[in-house]
Structure 1
């Protein structure tokens, strides 16, 4: 057969195999070999179960505590984003996305006056949410920051003019999928960052908002899951600005994967099973709990201090001790911290005793504790003004030693508590133990504390009245007919020097 005849016949065959129906938003869906188990015999397995899970989530069926938790995390996340407006990572990201994705006017960039394309807003808002290290945390096999999927839900709902209830559904889908993957497997043990879990949550958000069929959604999960591996090196040693963009980049990839799948692009199956079986340590009997009734969202923890989640107890103990020693920090002879071995490995390794970047400093146990002892608190301003570099801070760092806390481990094997003992030159000593830090799911951040945290970050960007309006809109999110009413309130004039 001549090549020309072959091409003509092949073109006709492909054209007639396309599914002619058009689904919402104008996409043409072609047949999927992965999701329906036909063609090459692949079985979508877990990818299809994820798609079914996302489609099954309905606002009307959500328990009251899940909806209340969604509102809390949305307010907290928007506050964290406002707090990073004008920071160097955010400004670089905001300028770069316009060169990369063009000057779109589809989705709001939180705290900035100019809108952007969906992908641009997803990226910048993701950087904003993560930069301060104050966003929420879920502890499954390891710490995960599920709020980093909210920029995707917000931008896509804004683009399509979806309702507040649609936003809540999308948030719940993204949160739950990411957290349930986090429960099922440790990425950290295999050298990857826990944020990889979100490569399964993001395409489900996009598919949920766009209303794409199950087959296409399963393919989107396969494509995104296969690509969503970020090395844990981004959080090791001297931590760079990339810490703030890890999940933001994964989110863009997940949205793109969903666009591809919506047009008929097929993806692999068994991406998580492959990770569990092929990468050490191998995990037998791997499974993800996708039972709707077992929601994880109410178990998300909030941060009181702008430091790594496992440092919350250490800083709280240090702030309490600061008040007890009444400014006698110069007389401190030694500081001994007891906490969990895994925490020590992540926040008290040698690089954390001599941090060279802000990203390393807010992950440094000795530095954060020293600032709490000296200043009675740890704030964003201290990091922005390089307080962590100063001589009195480093003097206390040199007097700090860290060891496993046997009594803590025995009482709360999976806890994040800490015990801090300081000894003065005259031999007097004080000890403060925080078994469960404020903001933990077992010791929730109060509504007053949450509002105070939000307004402290929002007021410098949008003003008091706008900040209060955002809180009101979030509280009544189920009544919003169009999410754009909320996103309009998120615009600001920007700031160059955040306090």
Structure 2
């Protein structure tokens, strides 16, 4: 591990990280993307659109929309699921919030970055404004994910700032530039301007505050505003990664750029993303995964349980080991291992309806959740989200355990195509205005045809019930 203002020596040290990053962004072309990368991009565009449509159901969304409506009017891009026309930056704000507000969006585990929330909300809003093609959108997403995750994965210290939003903003800005062919000084300026705006800390996560998803939203907006300023010729700082006050000095306590140099342009990170099968923090997924296996194998019932012991990495402990308690709100419960685990035991899984107020006050969940104990395992990596193990002790003394080196949804244990589509359909059905089956089928097919779409506005019109697609209501 190399701390703060230094990194491992490689042949690439003749050029700094920022020069390497700029060259990579400028060199990428859709025609050169491997087919597997294009498939992965479509897969996670589908996934992110689904959870973003579902996010229109969130109870805080009217508050967000009311605030955003004070920021100005315009018809540049649309809000997913409901169809309102807004300035691109405002649409990206709302759509970014919708993608992340239920903790159901995909994650790059090594980087601890939810890349698509900030990235896709920004790229689709800006792309809708500028009538970009499906191929350009795919290129932008692939580049953006590489930038966001390889910067994030270079950190060797634990999270202080909210890496999904701060790295997501840099990635989204890079993706917009790749999508629109912005190069040279304007590209460098765009990234510098984005860096000057990036924001988000772990305090919202610690408190279970709904501001967590708004940090994603703000940074989607910031990426668009950075691109707009740079395109007009405004200048930003240049040495934003390794400079004395660059990202790695200010936002992380330690970093190592070895993997950054080895993977950028050589291993596309869109293929390294994990699906989230359940609408909770990824740190809680292993508990659901393991309990499903144990209940299937041993057929015990929740009322037989004396105690559940969960051994987790330091990061998981930090993120979701909070105690279950009466009066929890949704944001707290989604990051509470006792509530997540109790729900899985009582229902066999966890879905969006499990965070209704009636469920949060359910005495059976509260009682069962109090039987969970969380311990730290011997993993040293402060950013590791696996392995975990779960041990269930029954009141008659029987004990059952299950260990997971990788959690369901990880590239080493990927969701099947059928499971991906099942999640997408469930997400679209759960929207504020539920989509019909035929509308969902058409949207699935349209995303699969994305490389052939000349203008992504054609796709956006299908992301809401037909009665709302162009209404502006």
TM-score normalized by the length of structure 1: 0.82
Q: Secondary structure at the match of 1:432?
A: strand
Q: Deviations over 1:189-223 (max 9, x none)?
A: 44454421122112222223333342111011011
CA distance in 2, matches of 1:276, 1:436: 28
Residues 299-310 of structure 1 mapped to structure 2, 5 A cutoff = 299-310=272-283
CA distance in 2, matches of 1:279, 1:77: 27
Q: Secondary structure at the match of 2:80?
A: coil
CA distance in 2, matches of 1:454, 1:323: 25
TM superposition shift of 1:402: 1.4
Q: Secondary structure at the match of 2:86?
A: coil
TM-score normalized by the length of structure 2: 0.87
5+ long unaligned stretches in structure 1: 1-43, 495-499
CA distance in 2, matches of 1:443, 1:376: 19
Residues 362-373 of structure 1 mapped to structure 2, 5 A cutoff = 362-373=334-345
Query: For the structure 1 residues 444 and 491, does the alpha-carbon distance in structure 2 shift closer, same or farther, using more than 3 Å as the test?
Result: same
Residues 388-407 of structure 1 mapped to structure 2, 5 A cutoff = 388-406=360-378
2:442 to 465, 469, 479: 469
CA distance in 1, matches of 2:341, 2:123: 36
2:471: which partner in 1?
none
Residues 206-355 of structure 1 mapped to structure 2, 5 A cutoff = 206-237=176-207, 239-273=208-242, 274-277=246-249, 281-283=253-255, 288-289=260-261, 291-323=264-296, 326=299, 328-350=301-323
Query: For the structure 1 residues 430 and 355, does the alpha-carbon distance in structure 2 shift closer, same or farther, using more than 3 Å as the test?
Result: farther
Does the Cα contact within 8 Å between 2:160 and 2:202 map onto a contact in 1?
Answer: no
Instruction: Name which of structure 1's ranges 358-367 and 187-196 shifts more when overlaid on structure 2.
Output: 187-196
Query: For the structure 1 residues 192 and 466, does the alpha-carbon distance in structure 2 shift closer, same or farther, using more than 3 Å as the test?
Result: closer
State whether structure 2 residue 415 is matched by structure 1 residue 442: no
Query: For the structure 1 residues 111 and 428, does the alpha-carbon distance in structure 2 shift closer, same or farther, using more than 3 Å as the test?
Result: same
CA distance in 2, matches of 1:345, 1:117: 38
TM superposition shift of 1:439: 0.9
Instruction: Name which of structure 1's ranges 462-471 and 418-427 shifts more when overlaid on structure 2.
Output: 418-427
Does the Cα contact within 8 Å between 2:311 and 2:375 map onto a contact in 1?
Answer: yes
TM superposition shift of 1:146: 3.4
CA RMSD of aligned residues (A): 2.5
2:92: which partner in 1?
122
Count residues in correspondence: 444
User: Which one has a bigger Cα radius of gyration?
Assistant: 1
2:135: which partner in 1?
165
CA distance in 2, matches of 1:331, 1:284: 48
1:86 to 41, 44, 57: 57
CA distance in 1, matches of 2:251, 2:55: 36
Instruction: Name which of structure 1's ranges 479-488 and 335-344 shifts more when overlaid on structure 2.
Output: 335-344
5+ long unaligned stretches in structure 2: 1-14, 469-473
CA distance in 1, matches of 2:443, 2:131: 18
State whether structure 2 residue 424 is matched by structure 1 residue 424: no
